[in-house]
Amino acid sequence: MAHFAKVRDGLVVDVIVAEPEFFDTFIDDSPGQWIQTSYNTRGGVHYGEDGEPDGGTPLRKNYAGIGFLYDPALDAFIPPKPYPSWTLDENTCWWVSPVAYPEDGNQYNWNEANQTWDLITEE
């Protein structure tokens, strides 16, 4: 099985699973282009069924999702930008916060107004 994303004006509007040899039966006549995506690709790395990098060939940086952008220059699917201050890492095609996420085992939410990671506390 293979996965294909329907891209219209640079935006992913649909994702399907199809056998490549029968793909033509799934093509509709609506505007857009079908582009193959890989369920096993995240951040420019191919992962095996165990969730570990397996050395396989990554396809288009990330598995496409509805609402993702497709950048033909990077040949990559890019998730929606979560916050205005975040920038795109063109190697992974993931959005990066201007301040690194704390690595202390706690959970945080991004505070766009203060440009900080705020600790999530139980109340």
Domain ranges of the chain: 1-80, 82-123
Kindly report the CA angle at 16 between 13 and 21, in degrees rounded to 5?
Answer: 130
Q: Is the pTM of this model over 0.85?
A: yes
Average pLDDT, the chain: 93
Question: How much is the average pLDDT of 99-118?
Answer: 97
38 confidence band (pLDDT: 50, 70, 90): very high
